[in-house]
Amino acid sequence: MSTETRRLRRVGRTLAWVVLSVAAVATVIPFLWMLGVAFRPASDLYAHPAQILPGHWSLDGFRAVATQLPFGRLIVNTFVFAGGATLLLLLFDSMTAFALARLKFRGQNFVFILILATLMVPFQVTLIPVFLTLFHLGWLNTAHGLIIPRATSALGIFMLRQFFSQLPRELDDAARVDGAGAFTLYWRIILPLSKPALASLFVIQFAALWNDFLWPLVVTSDISHRTLPAALTLFSSTGGVDHAALMAGAAISLSPLAIAFLLAQRFFVQGVAASGVK
Amino acid sequence: MSLAQGVTGRSGTPAAPVPATRRRRRARFNPAYVFIAPSLLLIVVFILEPIVQTGWMSLHDWSIGEAHHKFRGLANYSTMLHDHRFWNALKVTCGYTAAVCIGQVVLGLLLAEMLRRTTWFTALLRSAFFFPYISSLAVVGIVWKFVLDPQVGLVDGWLGSLGLGQPNWLQSTSLALPTLIFIGIWKNFGFAMIILLAGIQGIPEYLYEAASLDGAGAWGRFRHVTLPALRPSVLFVVVIATITGLQLFDLPYVMTSGGPLFHTESIVEYLYQQGFVNFDLGYAAAIAWVLFLLILAVSLVQLRALRYRDVD
């Protein structure tokens, strides 16, 4: 009887792995289908919609999307927005986190609690007044209008403060004995030691901003200032859509993060595990 | 490791008080203020002031371009009380949030438990499951809209080749919201899996050995060791999923425009329509305040629940 149950258990386990593998393939099928549609002519798609691989290959979708949308411009915009805001955010958040974790100043607790409190404020809540502020400043449809309001995050400050607090206190004393001031301590000692935390924060923030939709949708109305997701939506809602072009556009929008994920999966997983915010 | 754990862990310990003599000697300029200035300025200008302003605007009849805004007291809020479209949006948002939250936690738990050992194969499966999470929800919405397209879509293509009917996924009043829920779960279960996996891998092995010695089977070990130890991680996923769900916008905007007949219109989408399409900014601000209170309530419940955990 025990060999019988053991065999049953082995069959069950094999079955579970088969189910898991099928589920994994099913999870990424929309992406595979997207790539297939991007590379096939419309006639082929209408004839065999259930097929994932193209019957005929063609680059027409990529050509079409590049002529119908200012695609080079959109890619640059998205990189400037996501990259610019993330770099500024790393600088500002690490500075604040450094002051909170390693320096002493009056009002320190108050500032920390203030920052913690803003963790609970989703940006949708402040969207309308922020929109009006940008409107009055003449910052709508500009790169700095997109970037500057997103250049700090309570979450980033919080994560980095945690990390900085764990670095040994002796570092500060040693630096002071050598005559280093706060700026040297921050720039030459704390930051270089915090590369893993900074890298994780960079990856999740860059990904979040690259994927962001509502914010660029509200701040930009002019297609030449939009980012990829917002521009692509505009494109998809115009009538008589060219499927191959749309899926080619989607594939191009997804590819930078997909490639980064394949190359540096560790940072994505660590960043997400440490923060858990998109 | 998680954000939520840190909240209670750190904020509870106040900084050491500075002795009066030292404080006097430091009366000269403190460089710390330079370090906090940029972030603090941005937080005040783009978060704190706008929250107050949202509240102030919600008390007015506020339209763009006008110099004077008529004060209306709580009129926007009483309009909201009788606004069917608002209650519908609230219902849609809460239904979506609850369903995606539950689906995500159940799938995440199942996968984290099954893929707990790290081999090249489990690593591959984990990457596949995690992949949707890193992609843009708006772009993924566009892709899914075509996957579900009745004419050229993959799903109906398959159903058709099996000789089955082709439901109108996104145009049907009964199917549209469940379809968005399915996509919401598909997008996010990898996140739950990663968080719960980190939790599972932190459970010491001796607990399982002890449970085995007590005669617990696989289910017993899961029920009495894994689940209790994972409580904080599960709670964390629930909170994040709830907050993300309440902010639902991209999927209905891209896939259904809130339709058919508002069956998928979320709060943020309604807010967007009122604010940026109808330019009724006062009313949109009132909706934003209600959303804020809703999310604040969820966050406070989270903090409470976490405090209980620390007492355990």
pLDDT at A278: 34
Q: Which A-chain residues 154-193 have CB contacts (< 8 A) with chain B? A: 154-155, 157-159, 161-162, 165, 181-183, 186
* Contacts of residue B215, Cβ cutoff 8 Å, sequence gap at least 6: none
Tell me the β-bridge partners of B63: B280
Decide if B138 and A28 are in contact by the 8 Å CB cutoff: no
Do B33 and A211 count as a contact with CB atoms less than 8 A apart?
no
Q: What is the mean pLDDT of chain B?
A: 85
Using an 8 Å CB-CB cutoff, list chain B residues near A148: 42
Q: With a cut of 70, say whether residue A239 has pLDDT above it.
A: no
Write down the pTM of the prediction: 0.88
Q: Give Rg (Cα) of chain B.
A: 25
Query: pLDDT tens digit string along A218-227?
Result: 999 888 899 9
Residues 44-83 (A) with a CB less than 8 A from some CB of B:
45-46, 48-52
Taking only Cα atoms into account, the Rg of chain A, rounded to an integer number of angstroms, comes to 24
Chain B contact probe: residue of A124, A125, A235 with most B CBs at under 10 A = A125
pLDDT tens profile A22-66: 999 999 999 999 998 889 887 888 877 778 888 788 888 888 888
**Element housing A82 (H / E):** helix A71-102
- Residue in chain A closest to B275 (alpha carbons) equals A128
Cα torsion A115, A118, A120, A124: sign: negative
Nearest-angstrom CA–CA distance, A9 and A17? 12
- Please tell me if residue A234 touches chain B, with a CB cutoff of 8 Å: no
The percent of chain A in helix, strand and coil, each rounded to the nearest 5, is 80, 0, 20
| Dihedral class, residue B137 (left if φ above 0, else alpha if ψ from -120 to 50, else beta) | alpha
ipTM topping 0.85: yes
A124 touches chain B (CB under 8 A): yes
Q: What is the mean pLDDT of chain A?
A: 88
User: Considering only CB atoms, which chain B residues are within 8 Å of A131?
Assistant: 275-276
Asked whether residue A248 carries a pLDDT value surpassing 70, the answer given is: yes
B254 and A236 within 8 Å at the Cβ level: the answer is: yes
Task: Give the residue with greater pLDDT, A179 vs B306.
Answer: A179
- Segment B118-172, tens digit of pLDDT: 889 999 999 999 999 999 999 999 999 989 988 778 888 888 888 777 788 888 8
| Lowest mean pLDDT across A136-140, B146-150, B302-306 | B302-306
Taking alpha carbons only, the member of A275, A204, A16 closest to residue B116 is A16
